[in-house]
């Protein structure tokens, strides 16, 4: 993965994710949305294409997106999916397929995801499977999608029995990140996205963690140059992980730090009480606690993690009312379970992790006995 | 791709399809079904797994399949899908997902397709997308699936607007072909599968074509040693094509010889009148005619193709009652259309092809004016 500066007036960051024939570029700056058409035209013939978005994002950015595509010679059609995690579904997928087929889009026509993680994952899975695969472009408009879901090729939909249970690994042809789109993001979602940023610091980059400790307020104030810098750093970190282990055979699962319990908490509260990042914050604090309880990390490391998340305004405790049995069952249903044991991501120090094999019962026990353990 | 003989009493053929990290073996012989468990255990830990089949195939081979898996330490569950092309659907896919999720099969558990092309394509797509991909094993029980759909990684389901419109490229971990399963295949399906065998002769292998001309009757009499030889040769030919162009960027589309018009004829007769291979036979004869009409191949080449298909008992004429407009519209809906022109596979000589850019109107005109053109 290489980072280069483009010779333009804005401080554009261009990362290349090196995955052989599936390599692609991530363009990051303030204002890049208006360059989408030009950037895409460098990669494929201007032609018909489809933009998938939701009304919340669409009302702010759809016109600019369509204008940018049209100016470069593309003829975009729009597919609108209602806003919300519950629409990351087979029904939405079917509505995308139907629209593309009715419009007779052929296998060279790009699908463009304009929105957050739901739109990105859904559109990516549609792109992976429509006519056995068409070019896919990500234009992530939430912090979470910018630093996490738009890099790495995980696509999919939810199933009534769980999130992201059906999907595919499918790399985009291009990712265009315009950090100015974060100006319209509700603060709660900005903070939830920040959890994944903090996660990169914890698992891979102590310097990033320290930078976040220092500049948290500037970041929450949406300073564009800081956002460009941070988003670019997170994308680089994630790209490096994905390059090493594209299909999550092993190493890539360090990115699941905080997600084992996070997913369980989301599921047990019906995906209503917490945003994904908020649940992961609880999971990260729990993972730090489990790591410290096993003697893998220091008290100080655990405390710095808890403190930064709390400063961002996040709740860090496992919600009351969840039983140990419920948690154990939810954790056992995780996709990452193999042979009854969970490969749990522990922290050793800021920027350093290790895997521990843990049973769902152990996790559940420690999760509900927070008080006793913390005394 | 390498062919080696295993040191066993039966004349087992083992081909290796070389696709880097996605390489896999095809084991071909009479009786290999009983070795399925052993062969699979060489590739993954014995564990829970799922066999997807239909009642028609299941009544003959499911018990043997389950016994072979159990003997090697696997714990198989069975998912039964009704028999028929109309069940290559989202509804069937959903029923597979639901079954796997309810049984909590994890991402290391193999999915085994026991059946023809419908079961193979459907199970392959389920394997490609369940938990973003699980190991996939093909046990094809029709001649068509043995020589065609089980090699090459195309998986998918039909959509109300057309066949195979939704799918993925996903390579199996193992293909086990037992030619004795062809003993229970209805003759009509054997002949339909033979069309794809003849196709390999036409596009890639004049020697195979001559062998078929010589031994057609022995083949239709299901001589096991000849079947093993022919199936193995076809798999080798297809594997070589797929190795050169896995995702059908270009060269692989020679395998679509006869399929442009074949698909249109299938669609226009509602997938009821013809089996896939029967429609492809009509399409192959048409492709030979178009090639000859353009001066690309000799009269003799066209005649040998027509004669061999007719000797196998196949109808070779475009059915009456299809209008030029219907054919043009059906052809224009083909996935392979790009920029309004179809990359049509023509034959130059037995074993040699070339692509020609042809419009759907040209195809339709020639297809309905058979009489006039043949005079």
pLDDT along chain B (375 residues), means of 10: 47 86 92 97 96 98 98 98 94 97 94 97 98 97 92 92 91 96 97 98 98 97 95 95 86 94 92 93 98 97 98 95 92 72 94 94 87 43
Q: What is the pLDDT at residue B373?
A: 45
Q: How confident is the model at residue A373 (pLDDT cuts 50, 70, 90)?
A: very low
Q: Which of A88, A199, A233, A276 is an active site residue? A: A276
Given B107, B169, B333, which is nearest A132 (Cβ)? Answer: B169
What is the pLDDT, as a whole number, of residue B50? 98
Determine the residue among B96, B132, B159, B166 to mutate to test chain A binding: the one whose Cβ has the most chain A Cβ atoms within 10 Å.
B132
* CA distances, A112 to each of A43, A77, A101, B111, B312 (Å): 14, 10, 16, 32, 48
pLDDT digits (tens, 9 = 90+) for B246-274: 887 788 999 999 999 999 999 899 888 99
pTM of the model: 0.89
Cβ(A177)–Cβ(A227) below 8 Å: no
Nearest Cα of chain A lies from the Cα of B298 at a distance, in angstroms, of 34
| Confidence at residue A8, expressed as pLDDT on a 0 to 100 scale | 43
Active-site pick, A233, A238, A292, A304: A238
Query: What SS3 state is found at B2?
Result: strand
A196 flagged as catalytic: yes
Instruction: Answer yes or no: are the C-beta atoms of B63 and B52 closer than 8 Å.
Output: no
Q: How many CA atoms lie within 13 A of A260 on its CB side?
A: 31
Residue B65, H or E segment = helix B55-71
Task: Assess whether A238 carries a catalytic annotation.
Answer: yes
Q: How far is A356 from B6, CA to CA, in rounded Å?
A: 41
pLDDT given for residue B21 in this prediction? 85
pLDDT confidence of residue A9: 47
Q: What is the pLDDT of residue A307?
A: 98
Output the pLDDT for position A336: 66
Helix or strand run (H / E) with residue A178: strand A174-178
Residue A343's DSSP bridge partners are A357
Least confident of A261-270, A277-286, B31-40, B109-118: A261-270
Q: Is B165's CB within 8 Å of A101's CB?
A: yes
Mean pLDDT over A235-258 rounds to 91
Whether residue A132 and residue B337 make contact (CB cut-off 8 A), yes or no, is: no
Under 8 Å between Cβ of B42 and B188: no
Written as six digits, the tokens of A104 are 């007779």
Residues of A with CB under 8 A from a CB of B: 47, 90, 94, 97-98, 101-102, 104, 106-108, 125, 128-133, 154, 156, 159, 161-162, 164-169, 247, 332-333, 335-339
Q: Which residue of A has its CA nearest to B104?
A: A333
Nearest to A338 among B108, B129, B159 (CB): B108
Which CA distances in Å does A222 have to A180, A181, A233, B93, B246? 9, 10, 16, 44, 45
Mean per-residue pLDDT of chain A: 92
- Contacts with A178 (C-beta within 8 Å, 6 or more apart), sequence order: A29, A30, A31, A32, A33, A139, A141
Candidates B107, B130, B166; nearest CB to A97: B166
Q: Could you tell me the CA-to-CA distances from B267 to B114, B116, B159, B261 in Å, in that order?
A: 26, 20, 12, 10
pLDDT of residue B302: 98
Chain B residues within 8 A of A341 when measuring between CB atoms: none
B179-227 pLDDT, tens digit per residue, is 999 999 999 999 999 999 999 999 999 999 999 999 999 999 999 999 9
Contact (CB<8Å) B128/A168: yes
Distances (CA, A) of B295 to A349, B290, B298: 73, 9, 7
B contacts of A169 (beta carbons < 8 Å): 132-133
- Chain B residues lying within 8 Å of A104, measured CB to CB: 332-333
Q: Give residue ranges of B with CB < 8 Å to any A CB.
A: 47, 90, 94, 97-98, 101-102, 104, 106-108, 125, 128-133, 154, 156, 159, 161-162, 164-169, 247, 332-333, 335, 337-339
The C-alpha R_g of chain A, in whole angstroms, comes to 20
Active site residues of B: 132, 154, 196, 238, 248, 252, 256, 259, 263, 276
Query: Is a pLDDT exceeding 80 seen at residue A334?
Result: no
Burial of B162 (0-12, 13-18, 19+ CB in 10 A): middle
B109: closest CA of chain A, how far (Å): 9
Reply yes or no on whether the pLDDT at A206 is more than 50: yes
C-alpha B366: how far from chain center: 27
Q: What is the mean pLDDT of residues A12-24?
A: 89
Taking the CA of residue A111 and the nearest CA in chain B, the distance in Å comes to 15
Asked whether the beta carbons of residue B169 and residue A130 sit closer than 8 angstroms, the reply is no
Predicted pLDDT of residue A315? 96
Measured N-to-C along each axis, helices A206-220 and A224-244 cross at an angle, to the nearest 10 degrees, of: 150
Q: Which chain B residues touch A102 with a CB distance below 8 Å?
A: 161
Quick one: DSSP state of residue B274? S
pLDDT class of A246 with cuts at 50, 70, 90: confident
Say if the Cβ atoms of B130 and A166 lie within 8 Å: yes
Give the 3-state secondary structure of residue B83: coil
- Give the pLDDT score at A33: 97
Which of A164, A168, A336 is facing B133, going by the closest CB pair? A168
Q: Smallest Cβ distance to B133: which of A129, A159, A169?
A: A169
Question: Rounded to 5 degrees, what angle do the CA atoms B249, B254, B260 make?
Answer: 100
Q: What is the DSSP letter of B130?
A: B
pLDDT at B93: 97
Give the three-state DSSP class for A16.
Answer: strand
Are A94 and B90 inside 8 Å of each other by CB? Answer: yes
Within 13 Å and on the Cβ side, how many CA atoms surround B240?
Answer: 12
- ipTM value for the complex: 0.87
Instruction: For residue B168, give the nearest of A129, A332, A333 by CB distance.
Output: A129
Angle at which helices A187-204 and A206-220 cross, to 10°: 170
Contact B271, B263 (CB under 8 A): no
B126 contacts in chain A (CB < 8 Å)? none
Residue A372 has pLDDT above 70, yes or no: no
């Amino acid at each position: 993965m290489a980072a280069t500066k483009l010779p333009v007036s804005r401080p554009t960051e261009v990362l290349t994710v090196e995955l052989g024939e599936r390599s692609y570029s991530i363009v990051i700056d303030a204002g890049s949305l208006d360059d989408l058409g030009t950037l895409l035209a460098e990669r494929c013939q201007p032609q018909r294409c489809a933009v998938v978005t939701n009304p919340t994002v669409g009302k702010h950015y759809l016109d600019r997106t369509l204008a940018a595509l049209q100016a470069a010679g593309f003829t975009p059609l729009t597919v609108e999916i209602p806003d919300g995690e519950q629409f990351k579904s087979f029904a939405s997928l079917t509505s995308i397929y139907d629209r593309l087929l009715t419009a007779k889009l052929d296998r060279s026509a790009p699908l463009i995801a304009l929105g957050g993680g739901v739109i990105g994952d859904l559109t990516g899975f549609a792109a992976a499977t429509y006519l056995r695969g068409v070019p896919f472009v990500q234009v992530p408009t939430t912090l979470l999608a910018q630093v996490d879901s738009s890099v790495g090729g995980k696509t999919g939909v939810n199933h009534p029995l769980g999130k992201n249970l059906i999907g595919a690994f499918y790399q985009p042809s291009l990712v265009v990140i315009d950090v100015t789109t974060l100006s319209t993001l509700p603060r709660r979602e900005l903070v939830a996205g920040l959890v994944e940023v903090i996660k990169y610091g914890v698992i891979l980059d102590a310097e990033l963690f320290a930078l976040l400790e220092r500049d948290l307020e500037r970041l929450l104030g949406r300073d564009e140059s800081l956002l460009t810098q941070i988003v670019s750093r997170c994308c680089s970190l994630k790209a490096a992980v994905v390059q090493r282990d594209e299909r999550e055979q092993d190493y890539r699962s360090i990115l699941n730090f905080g997600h084992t319990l996070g997913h369980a908490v989301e599921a047990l509260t019906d995906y209503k009480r917490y945003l994904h990042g908020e649940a992961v914050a609880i999971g990260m604090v729990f993972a730090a606690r489990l790591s410290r309880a096993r003697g893998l990390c220091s008290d100080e490391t655990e405390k710095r993690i808890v403190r930064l998340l709390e400063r961002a305004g996040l709740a860090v405790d496992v919600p009351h009312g969840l039983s140990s049995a419920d948690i154990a069952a939810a954790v056992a249903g995780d996709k990452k379970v193999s042979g009854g044991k969970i490969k749990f991501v522990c922290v050793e120090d800021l920027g350093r992790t290790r895997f521990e094999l843990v049973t769902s019962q152990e996790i559940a026990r420690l999760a509900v006995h927070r008080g006793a353990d913390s005394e």
